[in-house]
Amino acid sequence: MEYRICNSKDIPNNFFKAFPISNIHVFIGRVNEKLFAFDDSCPHRGASLSKGELNGRRIVCYMHGYEYDMFSGKLEYVPPKWTDQSPEWIKSKDLKLFPVLEKEDSIYVEM
């Protein structure tokens, strides 16, 4: 199902925001004029990624500093301070990505 999220001008370059859709929050943003959308819940421990910060193509989780590529969804960096934790604690799935498109001056997400 496709959901209209907002006007295109509401997501300028290097900006992001979480929007409630159905029963989840979807993190939508634009970097280098390219849109992305994924589940706002960090796959590591569930923190809200919209409280994090952008680092190039990556979103940095504010809670543990894990960094995920916003376009591929892949975990790309785990801070060294966590290497003494158990392997199960360190593990993380990738981001859950959603198709996002822009048409007629609006942004849509497919879920």
- Which tens digit of pLDDT belongs to each residue from 5-39? 999 999 999 999 999 998 999 999 999 999 999 99
DSSP assignments along 13-38, one per residue = TTEEEEEEETTEEEEEEEETTEEEEE
Instruction: Give the integer Cα–Cα distance in Å for 9 and 27.
Output: 16
Helix residue ranges, H only, 6-102: 87-90
Please tell me whether residue 3 adopts helix, strand or coil conformation: strand
Which pTM was predicted? 0.92
Query: Three-state DSSP class for 104?
Result: coil
pLDDT tens digits along 74-107: 999 999 999 889 999 999 999 999 999 999 999 9
pLDDT of residue 83: 86
What is the CATH code of the structural domain delimited by 2-110? 2.102.10.10
Q: Residue with structure tokens 């809200």?
A: 48
Residue-range domain boundaries for the chain: 2-110
Cα dihedral: 54, 16, 30, 9 (round 10)? -150
Q: Percent of the chain, pLDDT > 90?
A: 95
